Amino acid sequence: MPDRMFGMFDDITYPDFTALGTAKAWKWVMMFFVIGSLESLLSAKAIDLVDPWKRKTNMDRDILPWESVTCVRHGSADCR
C-alpha cells in the first residue's frame, strides 16, 4: 500500500473551532438558537390560526429536538 494516495487528500481543509472558545461566538450561537426556536413556534401558531379544522400543533414536538441535542451535547443525566 502506498504511503500517499496520489495526493487526493492534500487540498482538504478542516474547520478551525477555536473561535468557539470566545464569548462572542457563543452570543451568535445563542442568537441563532433563540431566533430558530421563535420562528418555529410562531410558524406553528400561525398555521393553527388558519387551519379550517382547528387542529392544534403539538409544540413539544418542535421543542423536543432542541432539548435532545442539548442533553446529548452536554451529556446531562438529568434530562427528561
The enclosing H or E element of 23 equals: helix 23-50
pLDDT score of 72 more than 80:
no
Taking the C-alpha atoms of residue 39 and residue 62, their distance in angstroms, rounded to an integer, is: 11
pLDDT of residue 75: 60
How much is the mean pLDDT over the chain? 80
pLDDT digits (tens, 9 = 90+) for 35-57: 888 888 899 999 999 999 999 98
Confidence (pTM): 0.58
Cell numbers for 75, please give them. Answer: 451529556
The domains of the chain are located at: 40-73
Can you tell me the mean pLDDT for 7-21? 84
Q: Most distant CA pair in the chain: distance in Å? A: 66
pLDDT of residue 36: 82
